[in-house]
Each structure stands twice: as C-alpha cells, then as structure tokens.
Amino acid sequence: DWDEELGTGRNEWYIQTGLEMTPNDSQERINLCWEWQHYLIDEVLPCLPLFTHENDNYTLQLLVFNLREIRPILGNRHPCSFYTNKSSGLGVRKAISYAINREEIRKVVLGDDYEIFHHPISPAFNEWLNPDIFNFCHNLQVAKNYMAVTGFYGYWPYDWGGYGAWPDWEDICSPKTPSISVNGFGLEIAVFCLTICTISFLYYIRKRRK
C-alpha cells in the first residue's frame, strides 16, 4: 500500500523497459553506463519491481530494487525452518548481503576514488546520517549460517564458525573497539604507569617517616 507507506505491492511507477540511468559525471563514465544498460537493463527491469526518483537533480537520485515484495525466495514470508520468529526471505536477503564482497568490487571497478556506504544518503549530509545504521560486510561464514537457518542445507549445523544462528551486525561488521587511551597511552600502559607511580609514592612516604 504505497499511499499508507507500508511498502508492499507493486509501485505505481513500475517501469517495464527503457529506463536510462545517467550519472552526473564525466562523459567517459556516462558512455560506460550507457553501454552497460544496453547489455543488461532490458533483462533486469522486467524481473524486479523498482521505484526511482522522478525528478533529476544534483543532490540525490535513487534507483531502488524492492526485495521485500512477496516472492518464492527473496520475499518468502514463511518462518525459517530453524528460526521460526524470522522469515526465510529475510534470512536469504541477509545471506546475500554478507556474501557480496563490496570492497573487492569497489577496488576492481572504481579504485580508491569512491567510498562504500550502506544507505542512499551521501556522506556529505553529516547531520542526516544515522551512526547506528545497519551495514553488511563480506563474511561467507555468516552468509552460510543464515542459509542454514532458513533450511537451505536441511540440517542444523553444529559449528557456526564463531557466530550465532542469527547474529547482530554489530558483532560482525563493526570496527574493532578502539582501545581506551590516556594522553596517548593505551589503557594497559596507563594502568602500568599509574601502578608504578603509586608504588613509588608509597615507598617515598614510608622512607620519609623512617
């Protein structure tokens, strides 16, 4: 129901064929994009419902594939075989997200000139960014775990590779917690220095009393 913003059903602006996607970039990249569209877009568009930002502008343009629509696999609403409080379609979508190596794609296709982010908002809009937004890093073990939970392998694994059956993304993709520092020293070094100083001070006081 698009009027109620529930995000189900086919978009009223669904496009069957013939959408030209042109980046606001160099002519060389525009030509590359156009060649790619001729090769793939007529095959992709009839298969995936999509909605697109209708007004061209230089701030934000979106092309979004709706993977939540009810479909036999990606949009399956039936509970996971081994995790009944989650849908199997959600498990498959998460498995795909963890299986994609975005960093390798970025390096091979774009080099180091572009940044990976997991939402349609440009990093330049700092005040609009949610620091706790979901992100998906490349982790084949977690992808296999999600497929196992959905029942793809037909059995409950004994070894989850160090992760749970339905792990939180923070436990997988968040950067390592930075070590607490005191004036540039790591926590361990700071504790060691404070301990030495305390012992030295107590020794000095005791010696003065004698």
User: Chain-wide mean pLDDT for the chain?
Assistant: 67
Type of residue numbered 167: P
| Tokens 């009393």 sit on residue | 209
Task: Note the pLDDT tens digit of each residue in 139-187.
Answer: 888 888 888 888 888 877 777 777 777 887 777 886 543 333 334 444 5
Whole-structure pTM value: 0.50
CA 94 to chain centre: 9
Q: Which residues of 55-84 are buried (b: 16+ CB within 10 A; e: fewer)?
A: eeeeeebeeeebbbbeeeebbbeeebbbbe
Count CB-CB contacts under 10 A for residue 42: 13
Q: Where are the alpha helices (DSSP H) in 45-174?
A: 88-99, 102-105, 140-149, 170-173
Task: Note the pLDDT tens digit of each residue in 34-62.
Answer: 555 554 555 555 544 444 444 555 555 56
Task: Note the pLDDT tens digit of each residue in 181-191.
Answer: 334 444 555 55
Q: With left for phi above 0 and alpha for psi between -120 and 50, is residue 207 left, alpha or beta?
A: alpha
